[in-house]
Amino acid sequence: MARCNVCGDLLAPSLAAFGDARCPVCAASEPPFARAVHYGAYTATLRRLIHLLKYEGVRPAAGVLGRLTAEACLQLEGDIDVAELVVIPVPAHRKRMRSRGFNQAELIARAARRGIEKATGRRATLETTALRRVRFSESQVGLSAEERRQQVRGAFKVSSRRAVKGREILLVDDVLTTGATAAECAEQMLAAGAARVWVATPARALGEAAMRDGSDETQMEFALGQAGALGLQAGASPL
């Protein structure tokens, strides 16, 4: 099934016929990030893997999700024309860090870094302090796209302009839903002088048709196999 060339969401067949195919949202208002890529739909196995890491503390799941994120970056191979990417995970607020004990986006980024280098043919430097989350917000689950945008507005701040100025950034998160968080992070980094911002996630929440589409079946089988190889099952104990 055809996808938006910018955010990766599903496209109606009438829109997919165009070379620079974009979903209605990206066509109406171009996101600040250059392109967002993902490995598979945020359903079934990928959803479970992310929940194992994020809510149950099963940290080995980050290794699997990191490999899937790196594989998603194969889609960027022809887009990136610089020698180095700065890999920045979406930061967690200190309150969330206290309650959870880790930032899942950072764990995924660390696990993905070497694979990103292989996928893009570019050096990938991990930077975990250049972007900070300065305002805490509750879970975005159940919020509309506009509510998500309002919730994250002003929530992030660049703490090191030197780390991003003139650089191409690869922003890593666990899942892209409406793109509000990625867009806010990208806006802040572009305002601080970043050249371009790309986004990579293992999963993407797609349109309703994705729930019925079988195009990700092979991908999900691969993800399930990766999880099974590490013994990541519903009853796995957190490390």
CATH code, domain with 165: 3.40.50.2020
Q: Residue 238 falls within a domain, yes or no?
A: no
pLDDT digits (tens, 9 = 90+) for 122-140: 999 999 999 999 988 766 6
pLDDT digits (tens, 9 = 90+) for 156-178: 999 999 999 999 999 999 999 99
Q: Are residues 9 and 103 in the same domain?
A: no
Task: Give the count of domains, the chain.
Answer: 2
Task: Give the residue, 146 or 214, on which the prediction is more confident.
Answer: 146
Q: Is the pLDDT of residue 230 over 60?
A: no
pTM of the model: 0.85
Average confidence (pLDDT) over 60-70: 98
Q: Residue 239 falls within a domain, yes or no?
A: no
Q: Are residues 60 and 133 in the same domain?
A: yes
Alpha carbon distance 164, 214 (integer Å): 39
Q: Are residues 176 and 60 in the same domain?
A: yes
Q: How far is CA 33 from CA 13, 100, 144, 181, 214, in A?
A: 24, 28, 20, 11, 28
Q: Residue 225 falls within a domain, yes or no?
A: yes
Which amino acid does the sequence have at 207? G
Q: Are residues 167 and 132 in the same domain?
A: yes
Q: Are residues 207 and 147 in the same domain?
A: yes
Tell me the residue range of the domain where 102 lies.
31-229
Q: Are residues 9 and 61 in the same domain?
A: no
Q: Residue 129 falls within a domain, yes or no?
A: yes
